[in-house]
Chain A
């Protein structure tokens, strides 16, 4: 407290000095904007981001964007909120789009509508895929700008399809076919041990996200747009979970227990599984590492097609000067321009967030040579908002625990979802208080 007060007085004195004599010098100082970005280790992505920040500064000498690599999404929001509580918030950050309610509740960010006020700005705001805005807007305001966004898609091994006598160019189109295909693709040795699984849907860490694939396909939503209610125990939700459980329990085409998210792509490369559900963000990884021909398709349909969106949004923080807010907005507009969004999508495998990015020559050429890149975009009309509520992490954990209990067989699907709903109800009631 005392230290803080001293710092403030010093700052005020310094400001007074500047105002008194050195104002011209101060005006030449570039506006510095710190930018928390969720990346755990160095590598291609940090190089791309560093390059973008440098390019931007070349074009806009008055602004200095300082990327700070803050770890995983989870670590980044921890750092951002801790910094905020100690009074040193960043000016700009990429965070999970599902953290929207959390940072609104913490009064951490400003809505873009407050600063993007010109006619040009308004057209820009309207230019993103509507599916990505579902996790970016609430209460009629835009709190996040889509940047590295994704959906879940199904990958399949064309060679194994051929071996099993299936059309290698066609993925299962619906739930029944998914089971039928997976049965043909599951191989057992003489003693009955499985040597090759038909399908893997990961269930470690954030099973709710993949589960939303099943619930969306069963035509049911998990929460309301205001983020104040969940519907975990609706019959259609239980039914969706039962389908997931039955893949291993009844049909025995998926390994029992929890399937690790991180090693699933490797299982796919090792031919341990013929099909897998994973993010489109893995596209570049699969392209570089699969030693066989593979296909990418939208997830199979239940009552309808469907996948949740995922990934991160840009946010601008309240505790920054007007000049910093304007500079942040400028950077975000610059980085989401069609040309840059297209290049970003090509380099990383994320979905370019604006329709006009897909009309650029580079993108057209890329999709022409690699049609799989467009699958996630084509799935967007069927996509729903990723699970996000007030007290998001806790409400989501209630569901995750229930899903894992059902998948490991310690609870029935119905019991698990009832328990999860009761827990979510309790938490959300407390947050409405």
Chain B
């Protein structure tokens, strides 16, 4: 008995070590550092208590960035998931050119982010960009897509949905393929319509995948940096700045490590709350086969 316990712990040790080194220790360290001012050669880091958090509450950029991020998450997560399901169902059927279609849906995922952002930058270019050429055909006036506060964030959302949907489709496709064809045949015998079948059979069976995809989508919606750097640098006037990009700004442009730690903790709390909700609440409603 005792020996088994020791053996068990030994087997867990490598994983536990990694977890502590790369997850728990950094988290604790971030919390600790967020109570200190940033060290400069002339004035060492001192305990400032909640000063960094007080600064955050008074920082209008932080609130704007948080708001941007909430809108960004609310738009990208459902859109990319719905699109992913639709695409997966489409390419799961027996249609001509199926492999090519699957490949083209998946392509955005394998392209390097920076290259993708550069291509989209030219799509959005006012005057002769792809989007302008299309709207020009209908005689619509020219619009500065990335240069207006009202359209810059939606433009980034479109790029993200385009990129994420193909990735999530792969998981849905895999789930659909593992579904027994008997179910469809049985439903057809009972005279169930396609929509009814989807709502009552397919979608519930896809729930484990949806949960997995949802967790990923939430994380992704809070960790976008590269597209922002290439396409807008957070502008105009912070209209496209998201939380992680702002943390990068504060941490590696302003070198304000203390404030960056405090911001990181906020990000961490948000993500932890989401994950908690997903695993505690949604998990109960998910049927595993």
Residues A405 and B237 in contact in the complex (CB < 8 Å), given A105-B42, A391-B254, A393-B254: yes
Interface digits, A170-210 against B, CB 8 Å rule (1 contact, 0 not)?
Answer: 00000000000000000000011110010000011100000
Interface digits, B125-159 against A, CB 8 Å rule (1 contact, 0 not)?
Answer: 11110000000100101101011110000000000
How long is the Cα–Cα vector from A402 to B136 in the complex, in angstroms? 32
Residues A400 and B121 in contact in the complex (CB < 8 Å), given A105-B42, A408-B147: no
Residue of B42, B232, B235 with most chain A CB atoms under a 10 A cut-off: B235
Interface digits, A286-329 against B, CB 8 Å rule (1 contact, 0 not)?
Answer: 00000000000000000000000000000000000000000000
A contacts with B, residue count (CB < 8 A): 41
B contacts with A, residue count (CB < 8 A): 32
Docked-complex contact A204 and B125, CB < 8 angstroms: no
How long is the Cα–Cα vector from A433 to B235 in the complex, in angstroms? 30
Docked-complex contact B121 and A404, CB < 8 angstroms: no
Chain A residues lying within 8 Å of B40, measured Cβ to Cβ, are 105-106
Chain B residue nearest in CB terms to A105: B40
Chain B residues lying within 8 Å of A272, measured Cβ to Cβ, are 127-128
Q: Determine the main DSSP class of B at the interface with A.
A: loop
Chain B residues lying within 8 Å of A106, measured Cβ to Cβ, are 40-41, 255
A263 within 8 A of B: yes
A257 within 8 A of B: yes
* Docked complex: A248-287 residues within 8 A CB-CB of B: 255-260, 262-263, 266-267, 270, 272
Residues A397 and B249 in contact in the complex (CB < 8 Å), given A205-B233, A258-B235: yes
Docked-complex contact A194 and B144, CB < 8 angstroms: no
Residues A263 and B147 in contact in the complex (CB < 8 Å), given A81-B255, A191-B139: no
B122 within 8 A of A: yes
A224 within 8 A of B: no
B236 within 8 A of A: yes
Chain A residue nearest in CB terms to B139: A191
B253 within 8 A of A: yes
Chain A residues lying within 8 Å of B144, measured Cβ to Cβ, are 255-259
How long is the Cα–Cα vector from A257 to B255 in the complex, in angstroms? 30
Residues A263 and B125 in contact in the complex (CB < 8 Å), given A106-B41, A258-B235: yes
Chain A residue nearest in CB terms to B149: A408
Kindly identify which residue among B142, B235, B254, B255 contacts A194, using a CB–CB cutoff of 8 Å: B142
A10 within 8 A of B: no
Docked-complex contact A105 and B147, CB < 8 angstroms: no
Docked-complex contact A404 and B255, CB < 8 angstroms: no
Docked-complex contact A258 and B147, CB < 8 angstroms: yes
B238 within 8 A of A: yes
* Docked complex: A41-81 residues within 8 A CB-CB of B: 74, 78, 81
Kindly identify which residue among B43, B127, B236 contacts A270, using a CB–CB cutoff of 8 Å: B127
Docked-complex contact B41 and A105, CB < 8 angstroms: yes
Docked-complex contact A204 and B149, CB < 8 angstroms: no
Docked-complex contact A394 and B147, CB < 8 angstroms: no
B71 within 8 A of A: no
Nearest CB in chain A: distance from B27 CB, A: 20
Chain A residues lying within 8 Å of B125, measured Cβ to Cβ, are 260, 263, 266-267
Docked-complex contact B142 and A410, CB < 8 angstroms: no
A102 within 8 A of B: yes
B90 within 8 A of A: no
Chain B residues lying within 8 Å of A263, measured Cβ to Cβ, are 121-122, 125
Chain B residues lying within 8 Å of A102, measured Cβ to Cβ, are 255
B252 within 8 A of A: yes
Nearest CB in chain B: distance from A407 CB, A: 7
Chain B residues lying within 8 Å of A394, measured Cβ to Cβ, are 253-254, 256
How long is the Cα–Cα vector from A194 to B136 in the complex, in angstroms? 11
Chain B residues lying within 8 Å of A107, measured Cβ to Cβ, are 41-42
Residues A401 and B41 in contact in the complex (CB < 8 Å), given A74-B253, A260-B125, A393-B253: no
How long is the Cα–Cα vector from A402 to B256 in the complex, in angstroms? 21
Chain B residue nearest in CB terms to A192: B141
Nearest CB in chain A: distance from B45 CB, A: 12
Docked-complex contact A404 and B254, CB < 8 angstroms: no
Kindly identify which residue among B146, B238, B252 contacts A78, using a CB–CB cutoff of 8 Å: B252
Q: List 26 A-B contacts (CB under 8 A).
A: A74-B253, A78-B252, A102-B255, A106-B40, A193-B136, A194-B142, A204-B235, A205-B233, A255-B142, A256-B144, A256-B147, A256-B148, A257-B236, A258-B236, A259-B147, A263-B121, A263-B125, A266-B125, A272-B127, A394-B254, A394-B256, A408-B148, A408-B149, A408-B237, A410-B237, A433-B43
6 smallest CB-CB distances across A and B, nearest first, come from A257-B147, A258-B147, A257-B144, A107-B41, A404-B236, A404-B237
List 4 extra interface pairs beyond A204-B235, A255-B147, CB under 8 A: A106-B40, A191-B139, A263-B121, A272-B128
